[in-house]
Amino acid sequence: MVTDLAEVFRLGTAKARENLDFRRHLASAHVPDAPFQILASEIARQTDCIACANCCRYSLVAVQPADIHRIATHLGITAEEVTRLYTVPDSEDPGTTILRNSADGCVFLDHNLCMIYDSRPKACRDFPHVTAGTHSLGSRRSSHDRWTPLCPILYNATESYKHLTGYHPRENHTPNPDRV
Ligand code: SF4
Ligand code: SF4
């Protein structure tokens, strides 16, 4: 497994076209999602998210009323106060509410730790959406493209799945580390 964040970013960026080709290969061969999700679960267990926290830095976290009520209970304040203090409307997605964030990341992030971890929103629990829910590797294309260089779980799970399925990158998709 590659755990160094800079190396994950370098390789994940370099393999963007290869990963697109891999997803197309999975779709055309009708490869089921379940083996990938099992593999990703195992890699998630081996990954130290506290050493990373990239999703808490670079995500816009959409919250539902149930998330807000759970956070309110956790903090001992009202749902209205949580909404006022910790959320904003998503300017790019009318009707959606997101957690406040800054250049340092999510409003609840403190030195790579989530201050409301046990009550964090469902979107945070499910991230990177490879081990939970109904999403498949193929159905989250834009998310996969964006997050593979940022999320070691996603990067390593994808690389392992290439190996497991016998995928061989075409010559023109092979990254040249010297040119990254
Ligand atoms: S980006 Fe991925 S590896 Fe990093 S903290 Fe989030 S889920 Fe864990
Ligand atoms: S609520 Fe917690 S887990 Fe979710 S993005 Fe913020 S700091 Fe990370």
User: Which tens digits make up the pLDDT trace of 38-54?
Assistant: 888 899 999 999 999 99
Q: Is the CB of 144 under 6 A from ligand 2?
A: no
Inter-CA distances, 161 with 120, 140, 157, Å: 29, 16, 6
Distance of CA 83 to the CA centre of its chain: 24
Nearest protein Cα to ligand 2, atom 1: 120
Give the burial class of 40: count Cβ atoms within 10 A of its Cβ; 0-12 exposed, 13-18 middle, 19 or more buried. buried
Ligand 1 atom showing the smallest separation from residue 147 Cα: 1
**Rounded distance between C-alpha atoms, residue 180 and residue 50, angstroms:** 27
pLDDT band at residue 180 under the 50/70/90 scheme: very low
Ligand number nearest to the C-alpha of 127: 1
H helices of 29-151, in order, are 34-46, 54-58, 65-75, 79-86, 122-126, 141-147
Mean pLDDT along residues 119-125: 95
The predicted pLDDT at position 177 comes to: 43
For helices 65-75 and 79-86, what crossing angle results, to 10°?
100
Beta bridge partners of 109: 114
Query: What mean pLDDT is reported for the chain?
Result: 88
* 44-47 contacts at long range (C-beta below 8 A, 24 or more positions apart): 44/130, 44/131, 44/153, 44/157, 46/1, 47/1, 47/3, 47/152, 47/153, 47/156
Ligand 1 atom showing the smallest separation from residue 154 Cα: 2
Inter-CA distances, 100 with 59, 125, 149, Å: 11, 18, 24
Higher pLDDT, 155 or 25: 155
How much is the pTM? Answer: 0.88
> Which of 49, 61, 144 is the best mutation target for the ligand 1 pocket, counting ligand atoms within 8 Å of the beta carbon and taking the most?
49
Ligand number nearest to the C-alpha of 50: 1
Distance of CA 69 to the CA centre of its chain: 24
Residue of 175, 123, 174, 168 whose CA lies nearest to 10 = 175
Distance of CA 90 to the CA centre of its chain: 19
> Which of 68, 108, 117 is the best mutation target for the ligand 2 pocket, counting ligand atoms within 8 Å of the beta carbon and taking the most?
108
Provide the pairing of β-strand 101-102 with 97-99.
unpaired
